[in-house]
């Protein structure tokens, strides 16, 4: 398979628990092939631990250790260029014999320091005859429309970046979501939004992946928004069978719903009664869960869209009221992130479950291995007698 989904994010410290939890969740939900985390604020000796938590096979830090990249084992990575502001790796799929170059960027804040980065990208482009993706935090905008608030944008700020993009023949990949990827966290007159983060592709990439798209996700856990690149967007959903969710028992109405339906009278033998009561309870709980929680995965997606709208409203009018609305939506999103996490913990049935374990091969094999034990062969009645179904 080709490298289908990639994530670029200036996470502003991997040690912030909510931030890295979000990376784990994004990796799981989107089946990411490649992740670039900028400003991890950790030394390279910590990289192995975070790679394990993500469940990724490979990891590497750039020269300044301000760029961490992770990728899956179906790809062999060879470093093309490594510097203080970028890490470029050529990935080769051993089965398909396909190659793609991915450059993760964390540019310096000073315009003179960025000149070195622009030169490096131009040198890479000269020798690039394969698909090339360039993504990350460029710490500069391309034009005045990409900044709200603060001092006006000058041509001096943008000219070098624009020149580099033209020389490298890069095209920004179309995106959805907010146009402003960074926010200074302030409101009213001190509020500033900028488009500092983006993803480019060269002509070969755009020809190979003409429907590629970047989702500018919500700013949750960092002052920068994550960028999710989908080379082949696919919105198909797979229907799920009934599953009892442990977090249901925390709901105030749960016991009453179970009691009312279990106590309804059914005539027949012991196995028939248990079977019919369980089937009825499944239907009742499925309906009740849909009314009480909805589809938690869809809820997460919807709340992320709501937050995108709230962010735009805050960008247009940076008021206390809009700030409160955004915070409220973010709190609701955190609640459903937790429900989603509980779901995966339950699916593994591991009491010693650790962050990131759900993304390992062992985790998935453990989950699948449990299914053959989920069969009722006998039941015990109220008197302690064991009843077995006659299979003759």
pTM of the predicted protein model: 0.66
Question: What does the pLDDT look like over 236-257, one tens digit per residue?
Answer: 444 457 778 888 888 889 999 8
Compute the distance between CA of residue 192 and CA of residue 314 in angstroms, rounded to an integer: 11
**Domain 5-230 has what CATH class?**
alpha beta
Question: What does the pLDDT look like over 146-178, one tens digit per residue?
Answer: 998 888 898 888 999 999 999 999 999 999 888
Question: What does the pLDDT look like over 88-123, one tens digit per residue?
Answer: 999 998 777 789 999 999 999 999 999 999 999 999
């Amino acid at each position: 398979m080709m490298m289908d989904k990639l994530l670029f994010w200036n996470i502003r410290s991997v040690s912030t628990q909510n931030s890295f939890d979000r990376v784990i969740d994004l990796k799981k939900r989107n089946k990411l092939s490649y992740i670039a985390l900028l400003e991890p604020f950790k030394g390279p000796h910590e990289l192995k631990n975070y790679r394990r938590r993500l469940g990724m096979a490979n990891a590497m830090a750039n020269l300044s250790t301000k760029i961490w990249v992770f990728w899956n084992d179906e790809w062999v990575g060879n470093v093309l260029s490594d510097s203080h502001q970028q890490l470029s790796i050529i990935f080769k799929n051993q089965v398909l014999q396909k190659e793609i170059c991915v450059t993760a960027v964390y540019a310096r804040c000073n315009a003179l320091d960025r000149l070195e980065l622009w030169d490096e990208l131009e040198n890479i482009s000269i020798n690039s005859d394969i698909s090339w993706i360039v993504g990350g935090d460029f710490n500069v905008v391309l034009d005045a429309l990409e900044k709200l608030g603060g001092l006006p944008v000058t041509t001096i700020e943008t000219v070098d970046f624009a020149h580099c993009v033209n020389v490298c023949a890069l095209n920004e990949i179309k995106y959805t979501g907010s146009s402003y990827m960074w926010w200074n966290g302030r409101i009213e007159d001190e509020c500033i939004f900028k488009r500092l983060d983006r993803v480019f592709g060269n002509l070969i990439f755009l020809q190979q992946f003409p429907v590629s798209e970047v989702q500018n996700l919500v700013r949750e856990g960092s002052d920068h928004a994550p960028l999710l690149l989908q080379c082949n967007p696919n919105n198909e959903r797979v229907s799920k069978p009934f599953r009892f969710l442990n977090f249901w028992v925390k709901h105030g109405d749960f016991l009453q719903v179970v009691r009312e339906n279990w106590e309804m009278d059914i005539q027949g033998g012991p196995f028939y009664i248990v079977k019919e009561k369980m089937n009825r309870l499944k239907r009742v709980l499925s309906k009740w869960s849909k009314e009480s929680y909805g589809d938690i995965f869809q809820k997460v997606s919807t709340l992320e869209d709501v937050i995108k709208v709230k962010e735009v409203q805050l960008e247009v009018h940076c008021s206390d009221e809009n700030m409160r609305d955004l915070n409220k939506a973010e709190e609701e999103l955190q609640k459903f992130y937790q429900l989603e996490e509980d779901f995966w913990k339950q699916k593994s049935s591991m009491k010693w479950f650790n962050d990131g374990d759900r993304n390992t091969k062992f985790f998935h094999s453990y989950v699948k291995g449990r299914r053959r034990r989920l069969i009722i062969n006998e039941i015990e009645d109220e008197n302690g007698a064991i009843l077995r179904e006659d299979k003759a």
